[in-house]
């Protein structure tokens, strides 16, 4: 029972951190163009 006093706050903190990282990634444009890298990688040959 005592472990719940540790695991519940720890889980809440980890969930909040994951939500913060997701919101930051979306707002900074990390997910704006998911197809560009797929098109660019085959053309990434050295000249």
Q: pLDDT per residue over 1-47, tens digit each?
A: 899 999 999 999 999 999 999 999 999 988 887 777 777 766 666 65
Q: Burial letters for 8-44: b for 16+ Cβ neighbours within 10 Å, e otherwise?
A: eeeeeeeeeeeeeeeeeeeeeeeeeeeeeeeeeeeee
- pTM comes to 0.66
**pLDDT at position 42, please?**
66
Q: Is 4 helix (H, G, I), strand (E, B) or coil?
A: helix
Cβ(12)–Cβ(4) below 8 Å: no
């Amino acid at each position: 029972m005592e472990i719940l006093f540790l695991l519940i706050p720890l889980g809440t903190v980890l969930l909040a951190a994951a939500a913060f990282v997701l919101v930051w990634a979306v707002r900074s444009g990390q997910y704006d163009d998911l197809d560009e890298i797929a098109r660019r990688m085959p053309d990434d040959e050295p000249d």
